[in-house]
């Protein structure tokens, strides 16, 4: 596993990699929770719903939340609000930071001058936050400019309200120091409007789209993409709210019309979002000489009264560490063994003090991957049972590593079949592609030892699954079931029929965020499904010259499939034969085409033409959907 500090500057992290990063100290969220519960009517159950950290661990200020948990907490704030809550109001939660009790940092915080704290903000911010870098750009006796730059990884985790919380914490600095005359201004904001609409306001069903430079929210023109100018401040080039009206090299969005929902203004004209960074201006009026003297005397007294408490806490902590060290070795050993035999996420929840036996079934959107060795029975006949187990273990080591490296979890191993679960479609497909590549490498290794080549099929789909405990009181399996799981299994079984290694469903294609090399291959009815399934072949693992040919002939292949779907089987057959001649033979499999789908469709079209002539297929009822009766 990479050092988590190096992960801060990467994008497209897997959920597991994000969990390795300590995103924000629980101290921040304890302040937010106390404020929301005491003043807004929330409950702990609402705010902590769906977090992986246990309520007990959450309540310890020195613990940390990873950024997926912090996103879940912030999403809960908006989803469970008694009345509509806006992201700009989250400033008040940050302002409540001063009310966190029994924290040694706050003891010293109150004793340090406000300007000193601001000058040290870059260094001290990392003690509480690994989501954004904070830099002091400029400071004088009465003003300061703070820049917040999100780490690259955090763009995928942010709700968009976090910077408002930080602005509130900066204001709390003034409150704690009894500076009552101050202002804060969010000059530009790095929060992504798309993330705000998805996580903060997702329960409202607001739609977002772009049309050139204009952005629309619920089909109302709400803003426009703009180019922010930079200005020099203390020798640094800093983005400001000044707009270059002539540039089309956009780097932010300016709100041009109010977005009002349920009587609350979510976005206001003139506000700037999607900026490269946040810029917060602070201004205050320095206290009088008398007030500063009184604050100094009070700070001295506060520090003196706290020394005894600090010494007691150090003594207690040393004793606690000694006891924990004794238990840690045994606990880690048990956890490591447990993780091999079950889901890693389940182990983390047990380690966090949760009891999975009490979990109720829930429905979640997941990508499901099935991977199965072809002709496994024939392979098993030429091996001893011991050799077969060793072979499977070597094969699983390679395949399972690809799955976990891409953020997936092994749900179960069924003989020679792997079922894996992923949070995102892209991670699942990337795992499938890499698994194919890893299998190619494994076969080269086996060939060098004179061993038989291994073939495997992979099927992936995306959709709702039921996740929960299935079994009896004495034996339980925490797994996924449902139509999505069944379809993934059926798709994997079809890879052998089509002669390809990796097939995905249209549901998965729609959920993908990145581009992949794929082609439509069929529209079928699989056993147990009432609706047709559109199948796609992902051909990235194919040789480069075959990939180039497929890309070149994509329009031709779509046209031929259209002929097939229209019942013009003879014309489609001739077209597929011409394509097969153009692609050429397989590089090492004698008598085979480099593209296995072409001979498959020649056989399919020939068979359908014969069945039509025999009266078994009526063209007026044929819609290009092939029905499979077997699993």
4 confidence band (pLDDT: 50, 70, 90): confident
Query: How confident is the model at residue 479, as a pLDDT?
Result: 84
pLDDT of 503 > 90? The answer is: yes
Higher pLDDT, 587 or 21: 21
5-36: pLDDT as tens digits: 888 899 888 888 899 888 888 888 998 999 99
DSSP 425: H
Pairwise pLDDT comparison (513 vs 112), residue with the higher score: 513
pLDDT score recorded for residue 338? 46
250-260 tens-digit pLDDT: 999 999 999 99
In the chain, the domains with their CATH numbers are: 4-105 (no CATH), 114-285 (no CATH), 360-541 (3.30.70.1230), 543-630 (no CATH)
pLDDT of residue 99: 39
Asked if residue 329 has pLDDT above 70, the reply is no
Q: 517 pLDDT exceeds 90?
A: no
Average pLDDT over residues 262-278: 95
Computed on alpha carbons and rounded to an integer, the radius of gyration of the chain in Å comes to: 30
Distance CA 145, CA 281 (A): 5
CA 144, chain centre distance (Å)? 35
Instruction: Name the DSSP class of 288.
Output: P
Could you give the dihedral angle defined by the CA atoms of residues 150, 155, 159 and 161, in that order, rounded to the nearest 10 degrees?
Answer: 20
- What's the whole-number average pLDDT of the chain? 83
Q: What is the pLDDT of residues 131-165, one digit of tens each?
A: 999 999 999 888 999 999 999 999 888 999 999 99
Lowest mean pLDDT among 200-214, 305-319, 548-562: 305-319
pLDDT tens column, 53-102: 999 999 988 889 999 999 999 999 999 998 999 999 999 998 887 634 54
Tokens for 548? Answer: 């180039």
pLDDT-based confidence at residue 380 (cuts at 50, 70, 90): confident
Helix axes 597-613, 483-498, angle to 10 degrees: 90
| Token pair of 430 as six digits | 């990337």
pLDDT-derived band at 293, boundaries 50, 70, 90 = low
In the structure encoding, which two tokens stand for residue 364, read together? 């979640």
Query: Worst-scoring range by mean pLDDT, 166-170, 590-594, 604-608?
Result: 590-594
């Amino acid at each position: 596993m990479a050092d988590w500090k190096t992960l801060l500057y990467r994008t497209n992290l897997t959920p597991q990699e994000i969990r390795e990063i300590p995103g924000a100290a629980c101290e921040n969220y304890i302040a937010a929770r106390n404020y929301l519960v005491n003043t807004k009517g929330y409950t702990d159950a609402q705010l902590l719903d769906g977090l992986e950290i246990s309520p007990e661990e959450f309540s310890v200020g020195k613990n940390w939340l990873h950024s997926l948990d912090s996103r879940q907490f912030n999403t809960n704030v908006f989803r469970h609000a008694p009345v509509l809550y806006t992201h700009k109001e989250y400033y008040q939660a940050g302002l409540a930071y001063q009310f966190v009790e029994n924290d040694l940092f706050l003891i010293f915080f109150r004793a340090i001058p406000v300007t000193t704290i601001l000058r040290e903000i870059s260094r001290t911010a990392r003690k509480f936050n690994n989501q954004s870098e904070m830099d002091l750009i400029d400071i004088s006796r009465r003003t300061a400019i703070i820049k917040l730059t999100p780490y690259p990884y955090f763009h995928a985790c942010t709700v968009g309200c976090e910077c408002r919380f930080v602005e509130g914490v900066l204001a709390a600095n003034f409150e704690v120091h009894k500076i009552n005359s101050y202002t804060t201004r969010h000059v530009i904001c790095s929060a992504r409007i798309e993330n705000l609409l998805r996580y903060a306001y997702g329960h409202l069903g607001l739609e977002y789209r772009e049309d050139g430079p204009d952005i629309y929210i619920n089909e109302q023109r709400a803003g426009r993409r703009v180019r922010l100018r930079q200005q020099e401040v203390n020798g640094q080039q800093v983005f400001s709210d000044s707009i270059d009206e002539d540039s089309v090299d956009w780097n932010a969005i300016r709100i041009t019309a109010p977005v009002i929902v349920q009587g609350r203004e979510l976005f206001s004209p003139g506000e700037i979002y999607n900026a490269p960074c946040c810029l917060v201006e602070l201004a205050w009026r320095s206290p009088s000489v008398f007030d500063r003297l009184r604050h100094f005397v009070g700070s001295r007294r506060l520090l003196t009264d706290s020394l005894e408490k600090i010494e007691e806490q150090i003594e207690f902590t040393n004793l606690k560490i000694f006891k924990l060290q004794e238990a840690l070795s045994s606990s880690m050993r048990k956890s490591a063994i447990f993780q091999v035999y079950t889901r890693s996420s389940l182990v983390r929840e047990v380690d966090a003090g949760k009891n999975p036996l009490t979990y109720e079934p829930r429905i979640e959107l997941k990508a499901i991957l099935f991977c199965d060795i072809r002709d496994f029975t024939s392979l098993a006949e030429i091996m001893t049972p011991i050799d077969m187990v060793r072979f499977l273990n070597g094969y699983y080591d390679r395949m399972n590593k690809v799955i976990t490296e891409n953020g997936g979890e092994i749900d179960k191993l069924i003989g020679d079949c792997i079922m894996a679960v992923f949070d995102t479609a892209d991670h699942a497909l990337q795992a499938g592609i890499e698994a194919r590549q890893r299998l190619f490498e494994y076969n080269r290794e086996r060939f060098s030892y004179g061993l038989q080549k291994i073939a495997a099929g992979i099927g992936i789909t995306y959709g709702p699954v039921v996740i929960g405990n299935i079994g009896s009181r004495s034996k339980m399996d925490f797994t996924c079931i449902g139509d999505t799981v069944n379809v993934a299994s059926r798709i994997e079984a079809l890879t052998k029929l089509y002669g390809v290694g990796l097939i995905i469903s249209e549901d998965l294609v729609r959920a993908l965020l990145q581009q992949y090399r794929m082609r439509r291959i069929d529209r079928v009815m699989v056993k147990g499904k009432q609706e047709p399934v559109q199948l796609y072949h992902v051909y990235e693992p194919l040789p480069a010259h075959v990939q180039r040919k497929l890309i070149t002939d994509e329009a031709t292949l779509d046209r031929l499939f259209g002929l097939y779907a229209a019942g013009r089987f003879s014309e489609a057959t001739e077209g597929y034969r011409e394509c097969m001649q153009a692609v050429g033979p397989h590089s090492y499999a004698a008598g085979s085409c480099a593209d296995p789908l072409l001979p498959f469709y020649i056989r399919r079209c020939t068979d359908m033409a014969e069945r039509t002539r025999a009266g078994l297929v009526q063209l007026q009822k044929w819609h290009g959907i092939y029905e499979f009766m077997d699993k």
